[in-house]
């Protein structure tokens, strides 16, 4: 549903010093609380609603407009919600479910209960770390294709890094999920459909906040139906080809179809296959694209870190292009990706609906409360992190981790990202291949504004030029 009012966005803080960089973040709110303003702001971007105190060790709550809203920002309590009491907090917020159900049906990302329990091992196995090397050739080939395209750009051409990274990761995951045969046109059709869907999804479902248990279903406007249609047509065709034995390409869909054929009790009918394929495709590209985009922004503003990335790639790979086998030795590149995931976690809010009454951090939780763990707040918790808003990749060298449950870009507990190793390997590898050959520079004078829709991305994209090294 569209709402007619707008409020001013928060001011952006971004500072540079000698060897330091504090990247863009919204200024925390201050002054008296105006709840209407808060909700209007949250509809466009959740990050603009936090106050300075929210960035500390605390569990806070408010009950306005009929629903209890709780934010958990103490690492031990994060463990309690996402791991210890997973059974009570496994259910995604109805906002998330409502936003994605038209497209993903009962796909793993938004399912719960028995469906989630049955499907989780299947999907985890398909994208498991042991299979990453098998899919890594897509990562290498597609990134090298992009590098060749960048080579042909006339000097000074302005491109949108977010769109470039979105295209890159979508092509990689499309080949992994659907197989090589899908072809570039069908792949772009799926990507265009997803992008247009994301643009139409509301951030806040007001009916849910007002206390109606499942909120409002999304209005299936003609534009929304068109976006869904573009995605479904392609996926349905690929699934049919596999079910009818017309495709053998080692793709993730093929692996799922083979599992079902071996064990018909799995219940992976045509709809389930379609929903899981759409889920892996969606979960597996927006996120990595966002990390890569933020990494270019951070490296461009931190010359010492960019130099360390270049030096490491040269030491490990010499003049040849990095491959998946190099990833375990690209320690600094990994640290850059981990620090990028800390500062700009692609999924900045993990919202869960309490099944029954509970108690978290001394606060009584009501049944159906919306309990949120925010990697955005947790990763910038000033009681846990030194220089929480600064870009300091070195902190992650040597496998360093802060206190348990304070760094969770892939979530944690039983619902941890199924594609963690796929995503991490992909981000490191794509960054290394491109950084070896190019520097990426955001246009001078542009304001970078982190904005949280389904994922956390620079609002309006990131306009950059690329320069051969
Ligand atoms: C850097 C990249 C990635 C990040 C930061 C990331 C992050 C996350 C997070 C935070 C969740 C949990 C969301 C929640 O609980 O509300 C999640 C779930 C999931 N992710 Fe990822 N992800 C990434 C890449 C991938 C890739 C590449 C794939 C597949 C190839 C993938 C597949 C999934 C799936 C299937 C789920 C649902 C798991 C479940 O509910 O059991 N992700 N991801």
The answer to the question of residue 2 being in a domain is no
Q: Is residue 338 part of a domain?
A: yes
Residue 150 is assigned to a structural domain of this protein: yes
3-state secondary structure of 48: helix
Q: What percent of the chain has pLDDT over 90?
A: 58
Pairwise pLDDT comparison (6 vs 377), residue with the higher score: 377
Domain assignment of residue 1, yes or no: no
pLDDT at 48: 82
Is the Cβ atom of 419 under 6 angstroms away from ligand 1? yes
Task: State whether the beta carbon of 354 lies less than 6 angstroms from ligand 1.
Answer: no
CA of 5 from ligand 1 middle (Å) equals: 33
Q: Is the CB of 431 under 6 A from ligand 1?
A: no
Given a contact cutoff of 8 angstroms between Cβ atoms, the answer to whether 368 and 353 are in contact is: yes
Q: To test the ligand 1 pocket, which listed residue (287, 293, 348) has its Cβ within 8 A of the most ligand atoms?
A: 287
Q: Buried b vs exposed e over 269-299: b needs ≥16 C-beta within 10 Å?
A: eeebbbbbbbbbbbbbbbbbbbbbbbbbbbb
Using DSSP, state whether 69 is helix, strand or coil. strand
CB-based contacts of 452, cutoff 8 Å, min separation 6: 45, 46, 47, 203, 348, 349, 376
* Better-predicted residue by pLDDT, 109 or 206: 109
Task: Give a yes or no: residue 18 inside a domain.
Answer: yes
Confidence check: pLDDT of 249 > 90: no
Cα(121) to centroid(ligand 1), Å: 14
In a domain, 149, yes or no: yes
Backbone torsions φ then ψ of 354, nearest 5 degrees: -65, 130
Contacts 24+ apart (CB under 8 A), 260-267: 266/118, 266/122, 267/118
Q: Is residue 83 part of a domain?
A: yes
Looking from the CA of residue 123, the nearest atom of ligand 1 is 35
Chain CA centroid to CA 246, Å: 33
Overall average pLDDT of the 378-397 stretch: 97
Cα–Cα distance measured from residue 334 to residue 198, given in angstroms and rounded to the nearest whole number: 29
Q: pTM for this structure?
A: 0.93
Nearest-atom index, ligand 1, CA of 426? 27
Task: Assess whether the C-beta atom of 127 lies below 6 angstroms from ligand 1.
Answer: yes
Give me the CATH number covering residue 343: 1.10.630.10
Residue 1 has pLDDT above 60, yes or no: no
Q: How many domains does the chain have?
A: 1
Q: Residue 375 sits in which domain range?
A: 12-468
Please report where in the chains the tokens 């790979």 appear, as a residue.
317
Is 333 annotated as belonging to a binding site?
Answer: no
Residue 7 within any structural domain of the chain: no
Ligand 1 center to residue 287 CA distance, Å? 8
pLDDT, tens digit, for every residue of 205-233? 555 555 555 655 666 788 888 888 988 88
- Look at residue 400 in the predicted model and tell me its pLDDT: 86
pLDDT of residue 218: 65
């Amino acid at each position: 549903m569209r709402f007619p009012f707008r409020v001013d966005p928060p001011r952006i803080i971004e500072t540079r010093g000698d060897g330091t960089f504090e990247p863009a973040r919204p200024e925390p709110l201050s002054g008296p609380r105006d709840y209407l303003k808060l909700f209007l702001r949250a509809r466009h971007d959740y990050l603009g609603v936090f106050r300075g105190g929210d960035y500390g060790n605390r569990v806070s709550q408010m009950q306005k407009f009929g629903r209890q809203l709780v934010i958990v920002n103490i690492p031990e309590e994060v463990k309690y919600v996402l791991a210890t009491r997973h059974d009570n907090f496994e259910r995604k917020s109805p906002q998330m479910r409502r936003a994605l159900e038209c497209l993903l049906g009962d796909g793993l990302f938004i399912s719960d209960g028995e469906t989630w329990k049955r499907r989780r091992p299947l999907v985890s196995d398909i994208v498991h770390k042991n299979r990453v090397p098998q899919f890594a050739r897509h990562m290498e080939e597609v990134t090298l294709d992009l590098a060749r395209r960048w080579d042909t750009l006339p000097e000074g051409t302005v491109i949108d890094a977010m769109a470039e990274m979105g295209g890159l990761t979508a092509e990689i995951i499309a080949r992994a999920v659907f197989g090589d045969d899908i072809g570039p046109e069908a792949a772009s059709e799926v990507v265009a459909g997803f992008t247009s869907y994301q643009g139409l999804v509301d951030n806040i479902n007001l009916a849910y906040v007002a206390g109606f248990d499942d909120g409002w279903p999304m209005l299936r406007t003609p534009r929304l139906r068109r976006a869904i249609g573009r995605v479904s047509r392609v996926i349905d065709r690929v699934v049919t080809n596999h079910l009818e034995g017309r495709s053998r390409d080692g793709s993730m869909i093929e692996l799922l179809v083979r599992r079902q054929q071996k064990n018909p009790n799995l219940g992976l009918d045509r709809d389930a296959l379609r929903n899981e394929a759409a889920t892996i495709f969606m979960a597996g590209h927006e996120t990595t694209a966002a990390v890569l985009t933020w990494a270019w922004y951070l490296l461009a503003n931190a010359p010492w870190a960019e130099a360390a990335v270049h030096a490491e790639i040269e030491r490990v790979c010499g003049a040849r292009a990095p491959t998946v086998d190099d990833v375990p030795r690209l320690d600094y590149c990994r640290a850059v990706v981990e620090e990028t995931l800390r500062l700009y976690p692609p999924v900045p809010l993990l919202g869960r609906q309490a099944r029954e009454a509970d108690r978290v951090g001394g606060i009584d939780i009501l049944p159906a409360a919306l309990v949120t763990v925010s990697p955005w707040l947790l990763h910038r918790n000033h009681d846990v992190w030194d220089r929480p808003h600064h870009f300091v990749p070195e902190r992650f060298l040597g496998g360093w981790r802060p206190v348990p449950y304070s760094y969770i870009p892939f979530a944690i507990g039983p619902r941890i990202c199924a594609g963690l190793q796929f995503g991490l390997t992909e981000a490191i590898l794509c960054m290394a291949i491109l950084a070896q050959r190019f520097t990426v520079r955001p246009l001078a004078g542009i304001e970078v504004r982190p904005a949280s829709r389904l994922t956390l991305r620079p609002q309006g994209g990131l306009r950059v030029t690329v320069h051969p090294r």
